[in-house]
Amino acid sequence: MQQLLNFFFKNRTLILFLFLLSLSFGLTINSQDYQKSKFINSSAWVSGSIHTLFSDIGDYFYLKKENALLLAENNRLKSREYSLSITSSETLNLKKEYKLTPAAVVKNSYGFLNNYLTLDKGRNDQIREDLGVVNSRGIVGIIDKTTSKFSRVISILNTKSKVNAKLKKNNYFGSLEWNGENPRLVQLYDIQDLVKLNKGDTIVTSGYSSIFPENIPIGAIAAFKLNDTKDLYIIDVALFNDMTNLRHVHIIENLNKEELQILSTQDE
Amino acid sequence: MNSLLFSNITRFITLVLVQILICNQLNFMGNINPYIYILFLLLYPIGSNRMGFLFIAFSLGLIIDLFLDSGGANAAASLSIAYIRPIFLKFSFGAAYDYQSVKLNTAEALPRLTYFALMIFIHHFILFTLIYFDSSKFKMIIYNTLVNSGFTLILVLLLNTLFSSKKS
């Protein structure tokens, strides 16, 4: 017993080192599995507040650019409004399917394999997990975690992100993922080899999942090749969005989501 | 002693803030970010309690992880270099380290450069291995390690020269 205690005492630095090392390995492995990383994430209150404070300052440097973006979007929406033949929208009995909430990005990254954004809206603003996030140019990601004031978004530049996407011209759909190499290119998998592809074809969201509405722009085809078994395409998609510079985004909530989910679980 | 403690606490807080708010927003040429917070570990007083140092290194890394959403990668990397620091000190400074007479501020340039470079390289290698965590991305790990190490080393040397007090 004495010897055992002596052994521990003599090697206490090594034991502490190994203990802390295994702790940090554990945290790393947990964070790879994004469902489990509850403890360390930037939507935590302290880090969220600090990021907000400083991104508020940073926002001033981008005011001009943001204004130009807003003007462009307003212009697009106005031109659509004028080209609609119906003049008064009150006569239309439009059913509301999606609710949009504006939010500001307080933290963004794109240099890692698994990138996350932090937004300044949380549970207090009725933001829940699994809502889609877009901006005026295209999709950004999906919310995976919320605290009362902040929420964390799995960016489409995350190797664990998977979004259903389709070709705009003929509706063939596949799965949009990222290989972690270039923050301007994402990959679209599972498109059949008999589909005719051209460089520059537009890729949009498919609307098959309940997260994103249909036809939200994603990007244009930059290159494509067949996979190893020569039956499916691997397509490089150049994003419309500049993921390295995001300031303001919209969170999309599908108001029919529960009903859709009831239907899809009945099949199983 | 008190002023040493105070300067270490100030250095800790300043480096964490600079790291999170400036260095990780740089994204120089795509995704090159210097990890200057390890300057704290490099300059931590030599010959102080090792267990305490390990704890401090671990929590420093963990704080950085908290802000960067990187799990425990920074914590593991900082902890490891804190643990193997004596070996590198001995390797770089030779006999001077054995007699506990190394003063980083007054040390010669070459041993100091060796010591910084070794520590930074090992730290970045562990960091990127854990961030990518995928053997098929080995090329990217090496590339990122080398490029980021170089950038960090330059910044660390500059900062060290800028803020070191030349009292011999």
What residues of chain B lie within 8 A of the CB of A16, using their CB?
A: 51, 54-55
Task: Say yes or no for a CB contact (<8 Å) between B137 and A113.
Answer: yes
- Average model confidence (pLDDT) across chain A: 82
Given pLDDT bands bounded at 50, 70 and 90, which one contains residue A214? confident
Asked if pLDDT for residue B24 goes beyond 90, the answer is no
Contact between A119 and A150 (Cβ < 8 Å): yes
pLDDT beyond 90 at B80:
yes
Mean pLDDT of chain B: 84
Please calculate the CA angle A169-A173-A175 and round it to the nearest 5 degrees: 135
B22 inside domain: yes
Structure tokens at B156: 């660390």
Which amino acid appears at position B102 of this protein?
V
The mean-pLDDT minimum among A46-50, B43-47, B100-104 falls in B100-104
Q: Kindly write down the DSSP assignment for every residue of chain A, as one continuous string.
A: -HHHHHHHHHTHHHHHHHHHHHHHHHHHHHHHSTTT--SS-TTSHHHHHHHHHHHHHHHGGGHHHHHHHHHHHHHHHHHHHHHSS---GGGS-PPP-EEEEEEEEEE---SSSEEEEEES--GGGT--TT-EEEETTEEEEEEEEE-SS-EEEEEEEETT--EEEEETTT--EEEEE--SS-TTEEEEEEEETTS---TT-EEEE-S-SSSS-TT-EEEEEEEEEE-TTSSEEEEEEEESS-TTS--EEEEEEETTHHHHHHHHHHT-
Best residue of B21, B23, B54, B67 to probe chain A, by most A CBs closer than 10 Å: B67
Q: Which residue of A has its CA nearest to B81?
A: A17
Q: Which pLDDT band, with edges at 50, 70 and 90, does A93 fall under?
A: low
Domain boundaries, chain A: 45-83+96-155+245-254, 163-239
The tokens for B152 are 């960090």
Residue-wise pLDDT for B126-141, tens only, equals 998 888 877 777 888 8
Number of domains in chain B: 1
Q: What is the mean pLDDT of residues A245-266?
A: 81
Q: Do A40 and B72 touch (CB under 8 A)?
A: yes
Question: In the beta sheet, which residues pair with residue A226?
Answer: A233
Model confidence at B67, pLDDT cuts 50, 70, 90, reads confident
**pLDDT for residue A54 is more than 80:** no
Of the candidates B85, B63, B61, which has an alpha carbon nearest to the alpha carbon of residue B75?
B61
Query: Is 90 exceeded by the pLDDT of residue B77?
Result: yes
- For residue B107, the 8-state DSSP code is S
Q: How far is CA A203 from CA A39, A113, A167, A240, in A?
A: 36, 23, 5, 10
Domain region containing B47: 2-163
Find the closest chain A residue to B128 by CA distance.
A112
Mean pLDDT of A26-31: 79
pLDDT given for residue A35 in this prediction: 47
Written as six digits, the tokens of A41 are 């994430």
Please check the confidence at residue B121 and state whether its pLDDT lies above 90.
Answer: yes
Q: In this structure, is residue B168 part of a structural domain? A: no
Q: Is B135 on the interface with A (CB under 8 A)?
A: no
Q: Which residue is closest to A48 within chain B, CA to CA?
A: B67
Give the pLDDT mean for A9-31: 85
Domain spanning A45-83+96-155+245-254, CATH class: mainly beta
A158 forms beta bridges with A114
pLDDT on residue A40 = 53
B59 lies within 8 A of chain A by CB: no
CA-based nearest residue to B81, from B17, B125, B143, B48 = B125
Across residues A105-128, what is the average pLDDT?
A: 86
CATH of domain A163-239: 2.40.10.350
pLDDT at B168: 42
B109 in a structural domain: yes
* Mean pLDDT for the stretch of residues A16-30: 86
Over residues B56-71, mean pLDDT: 87
Q: Tokens 């698994």 identify what position? A: A114
pLDDT band at A81 (very low <50, low <70, confident <90, very high): confident
Name the residue among A25, A40, A58 with its Cβ closest to that of B65: A40
Which of B20, B41, B69 best probes binding to A when mutated, by most A CB atoms within 10 angstroms? B69
Q: Can you tell me the mean pLDDT for A213-240?
A: 89
B163, pLDDT greater than 70: yes
Would the pLDDT of B76 be above 60? yes
